[in-house]
């Protein structure tokens, strides 16, 4: 899996969760994950989480670290499992840094406040995952916590690169593990 940290700020509005967005914008073809920072403002008409649409819960963060991953040749259930693996990778890295983080499905909470948003969906060609981690929690529509504001993690680029590398390594290790067993 290819990884890349995008050094320019990008406002995440939901439309980026589309087939080949990474390839068209950053010339990274195939299974990949990219990370970037910026405002997150997903209106209901761009949301793929039907439950959030029904509950009239748009997503907003003044400043968020976003991960977008596109992965090919897998189904939606495997995509959701890989989304949960990304969330677990983030949780483990935060715990390695001394933070107590709770996971509930595909959400992480710090100090009983929501730290992340995440969704996985299927296109005609791939599975797409977006996971966002609040950097600044001020102005969020729910009780939220943030990497910089509440956890004092200031090197967001280093944190993002660490997460992407660990996630990529884990996916590659899973695929390799599937090639070393004898069928029964």
H or E element that contains 174: helix 156-177
pLDDT of residue 56 exceeding 90, the answer is no
pLDDT of amino acid 54? 86
Q: In CATH, what number is assigned to the domain containing residue 22?
A: 3.30.930.10
- Residue 160's pLDDT band (boundaries 50, 70, 90)? very high
pLDDT of residue 138 exceeding 90, the answer is no
- How confident is the model over 59-71, as a mean pLDDT? 96
Which two tokens mark 105? 């499905």
- Residue 132's pLDDT band (boundaries 50, 70, 90)? very high
User: Does residue 16 fall inside a structural domain?
Assistant: yes
User: Does residue 179 fall inside a structural domain?
Assistant: no
- How confident is the model over 118-122, as a mean pLDDT? 97
- Residue 50's pLDDT band (boundaries 50, 70, 90)? confident
User: Does residue 29 fall inside a structural domain?
Assistant: yes
- Rounded to whole angstroms, the Cα distance separating 16 from 7 reads 17
As a whole number, the mean pLDDT across the chain is 96
User: Does residue 23 fall inside a structural domain?
Assistant: yes
116 and 105 in contact (C-beta within 8 Å)? Answer: no
pLDDT of amino acid 6? 98
List the one residue out of 2, 34, 30 whose CA is nearest residue 16. Answer: 34
Look up the domain containing 25 and give its range.
2-174
pLDDT of residue 107 exceeding 90, the answer is yes
99 and 151 in contact (C-beta within 8 Å)? Answer: yes
Percent of residues, the chain, with pLDDT higher than 90: 88
Phi-psi region of 111 (alpha: psi -120 to 50; beta: other; left: phi over 0): left
Burial class (CB in 10 A: 0-12, 13-18, 19+), 89: buried
Q: How many domains does the chain have?
A: 1
More confident residue, 105 or 51: 105
User: Does residue 104 fall inside a structural domain?
Assistant: yes
DSSP state of 155: -
Q: How many CB atoms lie within 10 A of CB 145?
A: 22
User: Does residue 67 fall inside a structural domain?
Assistant: yes
Handedness of CA 67, 58, 126, 22 (dihedral sign): negative
Residue 25 exposure: Cα atoms within 13 Å on the Cβ side: 20
- How confident is the model over 50-72, as a mean pLDDT? 92
Report the predicted TM-score, pTM, of the whole model to 2 decimal places.
0.95
pLDDT of residue 21 exceeding 90, the answer is yes
User: Does residue 183 fall inside a structural domain?
Assistant: no
- How confident is the model over 130-149, as a mean pLDDT? 93
User: Does residue 161 fall inside a structural domain?
Assistant: yes
- Rounded to whole angstroms, the Cα distance separating 144 from 146 reads 7
pLDDT of residue 52 exceeding 90, the answer is no
């Amino acid at each position: 899996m290819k990884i890349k940290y995008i050094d320019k700020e990008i406002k995440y509005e939901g439309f980026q969760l589309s087939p080949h967005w990474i390839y068209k914008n950053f010339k990274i073809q195939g299974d990949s994950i990219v990370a970037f920072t910026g405002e997150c403002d997903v209106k209901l008409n761009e949301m793929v989480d039907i439950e959030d649409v029904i509950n009239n819960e748009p997503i907003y963060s003044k400043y968020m670290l976003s991960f977008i991953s596109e992965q090919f040749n897998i189904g939606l259930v495997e995509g959701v499992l890989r989304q949960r693996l990304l969330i677990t990778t983030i949780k483990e890295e935060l715990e390695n840094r001394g933070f107590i983080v709770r996971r509930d499905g595909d959400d992480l909470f710090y100090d009983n406040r929501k730290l992340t948003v995440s969704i996985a969906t299927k296109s005609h060609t791939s599975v797409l995952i977006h996971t966002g981690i609040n950097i600044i929690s001020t102005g969020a529509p729910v009780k939220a916590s943030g990497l910089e504001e509440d956890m004092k993690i200031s090197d967001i680029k280093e944190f993002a690169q660490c997460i992407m590398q660990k996630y990529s390594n884990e996916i590659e290790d899973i695929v390799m593990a599937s090639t070393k067993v004898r069928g029964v």
